[in-house]
Structure 1
Amino acid sequence: MSNSEIPTLATERLVLRAPVMTDFAAYADFLASERSRYMGGPFDTKGAWLTFCHDVACWHLFGHGALMIDLRTTGECVGQVGINHGPLFPEKELGWLVYAPFEGQGYGLEAARALRDWAFGPGGLSTLVSYCDPDNARSIALAERLGARLDPDAPRQDPEDRVFRHVAGA
């Protein structure tokens, strides 16, 4: 799958597009910050690079992966939303991150809804989960606003994670 085959999704306020190399600096800054603690961070540059490459490689290996979140009005990148998969994820995971200056404006919800809808439509998936650290109240609230339901029996890599299940058509 080439970058031109990775979908570009548009919402009222956002454009979700394939990651490019110029996205790495802001992404690495986020992963180096304390804000990444809910996803196994903080990460050094090597860890951030491996995670960034995973996000891109998922498209080529599985037909789904991460998209960067740009504001339609300015083109500024405000975060990332993705479908994670592979040996680190027991199930396909819908995940999101929003850079600090842009939190609290609904961008994560809008982007996650768009990628979830793509996954359940053209992406051909019937279920997704979101793994949430039990202390990450904002991500838990976002998963619930997306309509995901707590699935205590779902497999998880981290036994402490709360798993929220998204089901097509729910």
Structure 2
Amino acid sequence: MNIPRLETDRLILRAQSYDDWPAYRDMMRSGRSSGMGGPHEDPFAWGMFCHDLVQWQLFGHGALMMDDKQSGRCVGQVGINGGPSFPEPEFGWFVYEDAEGKGYAFEGATAFREWALGELSLPSLVSYIDDDNLRSRALAERLGARLDDRPKAPDPIDLVYRHK
């Protein structure tokens, strides 16, 4: 699999490893995963974790973990989801609770989106965001995405933000 390694001023975006599973699992068990249909039981969260990795082989895109360069600690994830559950490529992100509010999601999402739009020849990306997830909505707008009421989201309560 050809998984990129990207760098920003503060972050390294890299392929996930099994060492990332405990923090990922804990987040998916928590209320922080409500915007992704959670909280999730471990078997479902494991499927999501594996899906994030195997998409690189199937579609040439998937998820990258975000490491803080200074501490070396993983602070979250950015990714593009595809396959039968997604009508078009879906761009998403999350940060772990102790990393929230530090600009990591914006920095990582900007770098990954630039790579994706440049390397994958995608016409656009969408982000499916729960109406109540004000922080993710604000981030999507800060990234330049706009509400698009034409496409259907996999979950009818989600809003669709289009990245150009």
**TM bucket normalised to smaller:** over 0.9
Name the structure 1 match of 2:33: 36
Partner of 1:58 in structure 2? 55
Q: CA deviation at 1:158?
A: 1.0
Summarize the alignment of residues 108-147 of structure 1 with structure 2, pairs less than 5 Å apart: 108-147=105-144
Q: Does 1:80 align with 2:77?
A: yes
Whether contact under 8 Å (1:91, 1:155) holds in the other structure is no
User: What number of residue pairs does the alignment pair up?
Assistant: 164
Q: Does residue 162 of structure 1 match 2:159? A: yes
Q: Alignment RMSD, CA only?
A: 0.7
CA–CA distance in 2 between the matches of 1:126 and 1:20? 30
Q: Do residues 104 (structure 1) and 101 (structure 2) align?
A: yes
Counterpart for residue 67 of structure 1 = 64
- Matched residue type, 1:154: P
C-alpha distance in structure 1 between counterparts of 2:70 and 2:160, whole Å: 34
Partners of 2:122 and 2:13 in 1: CA distance: 19
Aligned to 2:127, what secondary structure does the other structure show? strand
Taking the aligned partners of 2:154 and 2:162, their CA distance within structure 1 comes to: 15
- Confirm or deny that 1:90 pairs with 2:82: no
What is the alpha-carbon distance in structure 2 between the residues aligned to residue 125 and residue 114 of structure 1? 16
SS of structure 2 residue aligned to 1:28: helix
Kindly state the Cα deviation for residue 73 of structure 1 after the two structures are TM-superposed: 1.1
Q: Does 1:7 align with 2:8?
A: no
Return the alpha-carbon distance in structure 1 between the equivalents of residues 31 and 140 of structure 2: 21
What is the TM-score of this pair, normalised by structure 2? 0.98
Question: Structure 1 length normalisation: TM-score?
Answer: 0.95
Work out the CA distance in 1 between the residues paired with 2:89 and 2:131: 19
Other structure's SS at 1:130 match: strand
Structure 2, unmatched stretches of 5+, are none
Instruction: State the Cα deviation string for residues 60-100 of structure 1 (Å, max 9, x = none).
Output: 10000000000011211001110011111111011001000
Q: Which runs of 5+ in 1 are unaligned?
A: none
Moved over 6 A (4+): none
Taking the aligned partners of 2:147 and 2:105, their CA distance within structure 1 comes to 19
